[in-house]
A and B are shown apart, each in its own frame.
Chain A
Amino acid sequence: MSLIHEIDFGTPRSKSEKMVTLTIDGQSISVPEGTSIMRAAMEMGTQIPKLCATDMVDAFGSCRLCLVEIEGRAGTPASCTTPAMEGLVVHTQNERLKKLRKGVMELYISDHPLDCLTCAANGDCELQDMAGAVGLRDVRYGYDGENHVFAKTHNHSHDHSPHDCENDHWMAKDDSNPYFTYDPSKCIVCSRCVRACEEVQGTFALTISGRGFESRVSPGMNESFLGSECVSCGACVQACPTATLTEKAVIEIGQPEHSVVTTCAYCGVGCTFKAEMRGEEVVRMVPYKDGKANRGHSCVKGRFAWGYTNHKERILNPMVREKITDPWQEVSWDEAFNFAAKKFKGIQAKYGRDSIGGITSSRCTNEEVFVVQKLIRAGFGNNNVDTCARVCHSPTGYGLSSTFGTSAGTQDFDSVEDTDVVMIIGANPTDGHPVFASRLKKRLRAGAKLIVVDPRRTDIVRSAHIEAQHHLPLMPGTNVAVLTAIAHVIVTEGLADETFIRERCDWSEFEDWAAFVAQPNHSPEATAIMTGVDPKELREAARLFATGGNGAIYYGLGVTEHSQGSTTVIAIANLAMVTGNIGRPGVGVNPLRGQNNVQGACDMGSFPHELPGYRHISGDAVREQFEAMWNVKLNDEPGLRIPNMFDAAMDGTFMGLYVQGEDILQSDPNTKHVVAALSAMECVIVHDLFLNETANYAHVFFPGSTFLEKNGTFTNAERRIQRVRKVMSPKNGLEDWEVTLGFAKALGYEMKYNHPSEIMDEIAALTPTFAGVSYAKLEEMGSVQWPCNEKQPLGTPVMHIDGFVRGKGKFMLTEYVATDERTGPRFPLLLTTGRILSQYNVGAQTRRTENVVWHQEDRLEMHPHDAEMRGVRDGDWCRLQSRAGETTLRALITERVAPGVVYTTFHHPTTQANVITTEFSDWATNCPEYKVTAVQISPSNGPSEWQKEYDEQARQSRRIAMPVVEAAE
């Protein structure tokens, strides 16, 4: 193993298909038109010296180091800004160029500290490399003159004085950001960081302030990094050629010696990283340029927030207890497996075969999920398996499979580069899917149009150099009415793409649907009273989407987590079909998946009614294949879904639960009901990294392994299967798939695999859409998007190209039905929930990193008008009450939310946001209605009784018994 060095071509790749041929240093080379001379040279292996150029940003031409000579042209142009042209004859090295470059380098070094031996960038410094490349041997200018290097300068005007004076050019190091430092004394003002912030991340937090010798990198208006708009994505750190911006971990540990390519374990974007290591210690995670989801970019979570993997609260030994009021007892793995197996067998003997079940994790690998569902179906002998997609994207599965025939998004992320009109519905990509958001913002800055359908004015609605053409701030819960109204405008104004519909969809179903949406009661004017959306704005948005070129819909949990979640997904599919926006790059229906492997968990047969590959358990032919391979008879009836499991526990028919990597107590709605259900069960097994909230009600704890400690694959939101590679031994002793195998063996259902690749081989053998997937193929291709089989051996970036998977696209009617969760005099406000950039889901990982500096607590966003009426000021504690329960949290007064709507995140367990949410759920899938809860708010003095009781219970429940020390004889 060694450190992976990615080639820096200096300037971005040209997309042109026209080739030009030129001669560089006597060699002929053909490159796409628009390629820089610098890049052309690098492609033939010649590295022209450079400092301000890097291929993640456009050429800038400021460092004057990459000069070349071109025959027939005057002067020495910069090779980064000069495009290759047909017939050019270029020289990259001669006496004149050598002299010029050496002179430039000498000036750079004359204002740069010479502490190279003790510098954190030692071994990874482009300035040092270039000094070597140009043969700099001497710096004739001393440091006596003006410089940025020393804090004090010798005062020449008072030679007799022993005192030095302050050097006004010098600036102290800024270490306000928890993950990297900014040392202005080492800055060469190449502006790579500024351009990375603009072009790659799209935040525009950095600038060059001042002119000439006063020029320096400035976060915001000469603020600290932490105090500025900086979102800590790390693009600037990656771009920096010197030690000016350096990871604190590199400063502390030193340069890495080897690296391994792996996949981030946070959101569904699925960024590829190089884990840069020293031995088994991670030095840093660096986004990988060949990563097809992220293309070399990252966010604060994936790039920096991996410290939880060795957090002191991580549990490393298996633990058991008879009662949840007992302290935990640490035991060996075998004792834990046998204890759990005995309990589960006992429950089945007493309450029947169907009285136990399990939940697979969207954070674990495909292979780990597959073995858990296999254990449940084949080992437990029932289909009581579900996954946390139940509470996020299960309506996506239902809606898209009903209309298109597959339970997944239709595009790859690259598709956004060909999009002309983007419609975002109920998603907040800059916080939830930041790396995709950066790619989207880049496209928007290049001219694509944007429509945002969201109750909140999210950052994407208006931010630096981005402004939505239309923001439709609807009342929470009225998605179906708004989307049907958009369809109404498209149909009644004759904007439907009839050619597409006749060719690809069922025409008679379309006619029924068109007649339905055309009814006057579906017009924007008629529905405005319910939705709160300005009809004129809605009409214009509909026209833009239908006529603006390639239209792509991106959506999130603001669509699915409603009583009509599945209906909304169907309405989105209808909209894509009626405008012909399916089956080519730049268009499509794109669910933004919350968790790293939620797509994979669904693909792997985590739902109680279907086997891997979305095939219903009642299908004899499919089930028999599994039975033959697994050598066991399978139950042909659907099992319980998560909310049904809770209900059945209350009824006394469901008494044992194995939870793999999910915190159902914190993340599922109506906490009190979940508490009651978990308390009713006789054995709860939690398999996790930490004693999460669910573990407070558990009898067995299997410690889990992190994504750094195991091999496997994750499947991201674009159906892309990517390798997760082990970079260190599991601190808990076993990889998660091995834990499940150990438990299965104790139960008497032994599964034999030596490596996760063997599990993937079984998945491929049983699942037609995965038939062509193997670790060998992933090694060769880097990643592959399913379906990957004989028909599509290289995978499928865009689906439904020549026709829908189900045959004809199916239009379905979408009648708006108001949720039964209604506002009234007692609960006049609507609460909706969401996420924030620096935290992830229930926060189990991110709360155990320095990311807490950005978000220490969940806050309740409310409009100034609503706050004033209730006497709540910014920062005040307030009581948030719904029909289900109450909690307290501090207010954040903002106009982001409309009057009548309040908003909070759910990253912190003490907030207890889900004490408030209700049990209303999607009609088709039981996905909870997190996004709409009627609430009242009043000023409060501090935490509620429930919060205090809960805290106390959690504290008691997390006790671990001290090992008994045998008395000395």
Chain B
Amino acid sequence: MHTSTSPDRLIYMANQIGTFFNSQGVAKAVPGITEHIRKFWDPRMRKQIMAHLDAGGEGLDPNVKDALAALKN
């Protein structure tokens, strides 16, 4: 991923965030990821990852998918 650009990079970043919050316990994982992406990602990044989610979300971890779905609503 050394010179990769989005969406590969965004998927990687989202999964990294997912990994941290997954380790915080089941109850905290999905809301934690949702909040983190909402707080720190610029709208165009969120739009891109949403588009990727809508296209099947390949490569995204399950909790990250759930978190993004929650973010959409």
The chain A residues found within 8 Å of chain B, CB to CB, are: 354, 383-384, 512, 563, 566-567, 608-609, 616, 618, 637-641, 644, 647-648, 650-651, 653, 670, 672-673, 676, 812-815, 817, 820, 883-884, 918-921, 923-926
From B1, B23, B43, contact of A815 by CB (8 A): B23
Give 3 closest A-B pairs by Cβ, nearest first: A815-B23, A923-B16, A650-B5
Which of B1, B6, B24, B42 is within 8 Å of A639, CB to CB? B42
B44 & A648 in contact (Cβ 8 Å cutoff): yes
8 intermolecular pairs with C-beta atoms under 8 Å apart: A638-B39, A644-B45, A647-B5, A670-B3, A813-B23, A814-B23, A884-B2, A920-B1
Taking a contact as CB atoms under 8 Å apart, the answer to whether A918 and B2 are in contact is yes
Question: Which of A567, A637, A650, A924 interacts with B43 by CB under 8 Å?
Answer: A637
Residues of B within 8 A of A670 (CB): 2-3
A672 touches B3 (CB 8 A): yes
CB-nearest residue of chain A relative to B48?
Answer: A651
B39 adjacent to A512 (CB under 8 Å):
no
Taking CB atoms and an 8 Å cut-off, the chain B residues in 22-50 that contact chain A are 23-25, 36, 39-45
Chain B residues bordering chain A, tally (CB within 8 A): 23
Chain B residues with Cβ below 8 Å from A354 are: 42-44
What is the CB-to-nearest-CB distance from B3 to chain A, in angstroms, rounded to a whole number?
5
A650 to B5, CA, bound (A): 7
The answer to whether B9 and A923 have CB atoms under 8 Å apart is no
Contact of A608 among B13, B23, B24, B42 (CB under 8 A): B42
Within the complex, the shortest CB–CB distance from B19 to chain A, in Å, comes to: 6
Q: Are B25 and A813 in contact (CB under 8 A)?
A: yes
Which of these, A567, A640, A676, A884, contacts B42 with CB under 8 Å? Answer: A640
B9 near A647 with CB under 8 A, answer yes
- Residue of B2, B6, B17 most packed against chain A (CB within 10 A): B2
Q: Is the CB of B24 within 8 A of A653?
A: no
In contact, A651 and B5 (Cβ under 8 angstroms): yes
**Cα(A812)–Cα(B20), bound, Å:** 11
Q: Separation in Å of the B13 CB from the closest CB of chain A?
A: 7
Q: Which of A563, A616, A651, A924 contacts B36 (CB 8 A)?
A: A924
Q: In the complex, A917 Cα to B13 Cα: how many Å?
A: 18
Residues of A within 8 A of B2 (CB): 670, 673, 883-884, 918-919
CB distance from A930 to the nearest CB of B (A): 14
Pair B41/A638 contact, Cβ less than 8 Å:
yes
Identify which of A608, A919, A920 gathers the most chain B CB atoms within 10 Å of its CB.
Answer: A919
Chain B residue nearest in CB terms to A816 = B23
Contact A616 B19 (CB under 8 A): no
Q: Is the CB of A638 within 8 A of B44?
A: no
Residues of B within 8 A of A650 (CB): 5
Flag if B16 contacts A563 (CB, 8 Å): yes
Q: Are B20 and A567 in contact (CB under 8 A)?
A: yes
B39 touches A609 (CB 8 A): yes
Residues of A within 8 A of B25 (CB): 512, 813
Given A641-B40, A815-B23, list of 16 further CB < 8 A pairs?
Answer: A512-B25, A608-B42, A609-B40, A616-B39, A640-B44, A640-B45, A653-B44, A814-B23, A817-B19, A883-B2, A919-B1, A919-B3, A920-B1, A923-B17, A924-B20, A924-B40
Give Cα A383–Cα B45 distance, bound, in whole angstroms: 14
Chain A min CB distance to B61 (Å) = 13
Are A812 and B1 in contact, CB atoms less than 8 angstroms apart? no
Pair B42/A923 contact, Cβ less than 8 Å: no
Given A563-B16, A812-B24 in contact, is the A673-B40 Cβ separation under 8 Å? no
Are A638's CB and B6's CB within 8 A? no
Contacts of A512 in B (CB 8 A): 25
CA distance A618 to B23 in the complex (A): 27
Q: How many angstroms from the CA of A817 to the CA of B1 in the assembled complex? A: 18
Q: Which DSSP category, helix, strand, loop or mixed, fits chain A's interface?
A: loop
* Closest chain B residue, CB of each to CB of A654: B44
Quick check: B20 and A644 within 8 Å, CB to CB?
Answer: no
Contacts of A815 in B (CB 8 A): 19-20, 23
CB neighbours (8 Å) of B36 from chain A are: 924
Write the nearest CB–CB distance from A920 to chain B, whole angstroms.
Answer: 8
What A residues does B19 contact at CB under 8 A?
A: 815, 817, 923
How far apart are the CA atoms of A670 and B1 in the complex, in Å? 11
CB-defined contacts of B3 to chain A, threshold 8 Å:
670, 672-673, 676, 884, 919
Complexed CA–CA distance, A681 and B47 (Å):
22
The residue among A608, A647, A812 with the most chain B CB atoms within 10 A of its own CB is: A647
Instruction: Tell me the bound Cα distance from A817 to B44 in angstroms.
Output: 28
A644 with B23: CB separation less than 8 A? no
CA distance A641 to B41 in the complex (A): 8
**Across-interface contacts of A817 in B (CB, < 8 A):** 19-20, 23
Q: Which of A563, A567, A638 contacts B40 (CB 8 A)?
A: A638
Q: Which residues of A contact B40 (CB under 8 A)?
A: 609, 638, 641, 924-925
- Distance (whole angstroms) from the CB of B17 to the closest CB of chain A: 6
Which residues of A are found within 8 Å of B13, using beta-carbon distances?
921, 923, 926
Q: Which residues of B contact A647 (CB under 8 A)?
A: 5-6, 9
For A922, the closest partner residue in chain B by CB is B16
Q: Contacts of A563 on B, CB cut-off 8 Å?
A: 16
CB–CB B39/A924 < 8 A = no
CB distance from B25 to the nearest CB of A (A): 7
A496 CA to B43 CA, complexed, in Å:
43
Q: How close is A375's CB to chain B, nearest CB, in angstroms?
A: 18
Measured CB to CB, the closest approach of chain B to A587, in angstroms, equals 27
Question: CB-CB < 8 A to B1: which residues of A?
Answer: 820, 919-920
Chain A residues with CB under 8 Å of B6's CB are 647, 651
In contact, B20 and A923 (Cβ under 8 angstroms): yes
A-chain residues with CB within 8 Å of residue B45 when the two chains form the complex: 640, 644
Q: Closest A residue to B22 by CB, please name it.
A: A815
Separation of A937 and B9 alpha carbons in the complex (Å): 28
Least distance between A646 CB and chain B CB atoms (Å): 9
Contacts of A673 in B (CB 8 A): 2-3
B residues less than 8 Å from A566 (CB atoms): 20
| Closest residue on chain A to residue B46 by CB atoms | A637
Query: In the complex, what's the smallest C-beta–C-beta distance from A966 to chain B, in angstroms?
Result: 49
In the bound complex, residues from chain A placing their C-beta under 8 Å from that of B43 are 354, 637
- Residues of chain B within 8 A (CB-CB) of A639 are 42
CB distance from A645 to the nearest CB of B (A): 9
* CB closest chain-B residue, reference A646: B5
In whole angstroms, how far apart are the Cα atoms of A618 and B35 in the complex? 12
Q: CA separation between A918 and B4, bound complex, in Å? A: 11
**Most chain A CB neighbours (cut-off 10 Å) among B1, B23, B44, B45:** B44
- Please measure, in the bound complex, the distance between the C-alpha atom of A567 and the C-alpha atom of B2, giving whole angstroms: 23
What residues of A have a CB within 8 angstroms of the CB of B42 in the complex? 354, 383-384, 608, 637-641, 644, 648
Give CA–CA (A644, B12) in the complex, Å: 13
Across the interface, name the chain B residue whose C-beta is closest to A512: B25
- Which partner residue on chain B sits nearest A384 by CB separation? B42
CA distance A672 to B4 in the complex (A): 12
CA distance A820 to B16 in the complex (A): 10
Complex: A18 Cα to B13 Cα, angstroms: 60
- List B contacts of A609 (CB < 8 A): 39-40
Q: Do A924 and B44 contact each other (CB < 8 Å), given the known contacts A672-B3, A883-B2?
A: no
Q: Using CB atoms, name the residue of chain A closest to B21.
A: A923
Partner pick for A924 among B4, B17, B24, CB 8 A cutoff:
B17
With both beta carbons as reference points, the residue of chain A lying nearest to B43 in the complex is identified as A637
Name which residue of chain B comes closest to A635, CB basis: B43
A458 → chain B closest CB, angstroms: 29
- Please state if B39 and A813 are interface contacts (CB–CB under 8 Å): no
**Contact residue among B16, B17, B24 (Cβ-Cβ distance under 8 Å from A813):** B24
Q: Which residues of A contact B17 (CB under 8 A)?
A: 923-924
Report how far A670 CA is from B3 CA in the complex, Å.
8
Instruction: Give CA–CA (A563, B1) in the complex, Å.
Output: 14
CB-CB < 8 A to A813: which residues of B? 23-25
Q: Which chain B residue has the least Cβ–Cβ distance from A920?
A: B1
CA distance A817 to B22 in the complex (A): 12
Q: How far is the CB of B45 from chain A (nearest CB, A)?
A: 6
Give the docked Cα–Cα distance between A563 and B20 (Å).
11
